[in-house]
Chains A and B, each alone.
Chain A
Amino acid sequence: MRDRDALDNNPHISRSALEAMHSQLFGWALSRCGMQRTAAEDLVQQAYVELLSGNARFDNKSSLKTFVFAVVQNLAKSRFRRLATRMRLVQQYQVADDVVDPTEPSAQNNIWIAVRELPTRQRDIVELVFCRDLTIEEAAAVMRVSVGTGRAHYDRAKKALREKLKEWSETDR
Chain B
Amino acid sequence: MNDPDTDLVNEFKHGRHLTDELDHRPFATVWRAAQQTVVASRRRYRMFMAAAVLVAAAVISVSMQVPSPAVPVYIEVAELLDSTNWVAPSDVLLPDRQFDIYQEIPVLHQPTEPARGALL
Chain A interface residues (CB < 8 Å from chain B): 15, 18-19, 22-24, 26-27, 30-31, 37, 40-41, 44-46, 48-49, 52-53, 103, 105, 108-112, 126, 130-131, 158, 161-162, 165
Contacts and interface: CB of A to CB of B under 8 A. Distances in A.
Given A105-B18, A111-B12, A37 B24 contact: yes
Contact of B31 (A15, A26, A105): A15
Interface residues of B, number: 27
A45 B33 contact: yes
Report whether over half of chain B's contact residues are helix, strand or loop; otherwise say mixed. Answer: helix
A111 B26 CA distance: 28
B19 A30 contact: yes
B38 A37 contact: no
Nearest to B35: A52
Nearest to B39: A52
Interface stretch (B3-11, B46-54, B73-81, B104-112): B3-11
Contacts of B38: 49, 52-53
B19 A31 contact: yes
B15 A111 contact: yes
Given A19-B27, A23-B24, A45 B15 contact: no
Contacts of A53: 38, 41
Given A18-B27, A22-B27, A161-B8, A52 B34 contact: yes
